Amino acid sequence: MWSVVTRKELKDALRDRRALAALLLFPLLGPVMIYFMFNMLIDIAEDAVEVTLPVVGAEYAGDLIDYLQQNGIDIENMRLNSRPASEGEFYSQPQLDEISQAIRSRRFDYVLVIPPQFDELIGASRGSNIELHMESTRTTSSPKVSRISSLIDAWSRETAALRLIVRGINPDIISPVSIVRIDVASQQSRVQSILGMVPFFVIMAAFVCGMGVAVDVTAGERERKSLEPLLVNPVPRYTIVIGKWMAAVLFSATGLVLVMILNFFSLSQVPLEEVGIVFNLGRLEIIGVLVTTLPLALFAPSIQIFVGIFAKSFKDAQAYLSFIMLLPMAPFFFNMFNTQDREFWMNFVPMLAQHMLLTDVVRGETPEIIDFILAGTSLLFYSMLFIFGASQLMKKERIIFT
């Protein structure tokens, strides 16, 4: 009997433009965002290779400027039109304001300011300050600023070492320990650190793609006054609820699979190898992703149908379910700040288990089969709890007729 209800709800859903829009638009939106986002990141990384550095007072630091140029930094002299400083001042306030205005107006992203006494102080083995003016909110210039800062620090260390050598002192005295960084992360692990948004989009797809159907079969039918005639039929309420649930599950599962296919296709079109990353998911990884995520297509519609029964209209249901849409974000933020690996108890937490398992699969690790079984079984258990609760609510007159 539930299959009859499912066919009826599917026929209605296929006629509903809102449900079809939720099914088709989100699977397209995520891959498009990922494609353009990663291409933009690659462009930023490539731009950091060629850096043009605007400098005020380049003539005061000949050795530093030569060092920067030898390391691939193009120097652009910035001429100031403001009143110069009086004797003994670094730069006048109008000149500093002119520099700040040039950055705020996006004429430059950053400016290196060198004081007139720089060469004199360095030649006398004294210290001197230089200023790198920038706007920290511009993320596109951050790689360039980091490279410039690293080169200036390297020149400073080299200058300090030469000072010690001239005085017959071993430079190792002031740097007794050198840190050698050895990255043991696999290539696939580095891929996962960049592709952390993919599990988020997959989990969101399970909620977004089936939401239109879940709302329509509950609050939509109450608003159209078609729920009462359906409940008059001599069939158990749980049969009706399961039929509605399965219709929403089919939409959710279809959208979820589309998101995964289109996400992986869009990533295959991104030239990740240009930044030293090889993205490759084999057959076992793809099967692991499907096994990990498909149970979400059961859980998401169940909680949406349960909440949708409380709504008196389609508009009310959308307001209620807007809070439900915050749930998929919780494991994403938890994983951002999580300092531990996946633990056994996480297999019993809805969405967190799937997010952690999916992260491991993308990273190239193979979780134990028991983890997949427990994560999928727990989601099925929670789904049946919500479906049972929805079928019990269907028996209450105050829910149906208010």
Q: What is the pLDDT of residues 81-123, one digit of tens each?
A: 877 666 555 678 888 888 999 998 888 889 999 988 888 888 8
Amino acid sitting at position 396: K
The ranges of the chain annotated as CATH 3.40.190 are 48-182
List the single range of 96-100, 199-203, 286-290 with lowest mean pLDDT.
286-290
C-beta separation of 313 from 222 below 8 A = yes
Does the pLDDT value for residue 222 go beyond 70?
Answer: yes
Name the residue among 395, 203, 206, 221 with its Cα closest to residue 308.
221
Q: What rounded mean pLDDT belongs to the chain?
A: 79
Segment 369-379, tens digit of pLDDT: 788 888 888 88
Q: What are the tokens at 350?
A: 């809805």
Q: What is the dihedral of CA 327, 333, 337, 342, to 10 degrees?
A: 60
CATH match for 48-182 among 3.10.530, 3.40.190, 3.40.1130, 1.10.287: 3.40.190
Q: Report the half-sphere exposure of 313 (CA within 13 A, side-chain side).
A: 2
Band (pLDDT 50/70/90 cuts) for residue 278 is low
Name the residue among 178, 201, 216 with its Cα closest to residue 358.
201
C-beta separation of 287 from 49 below 8 A = no
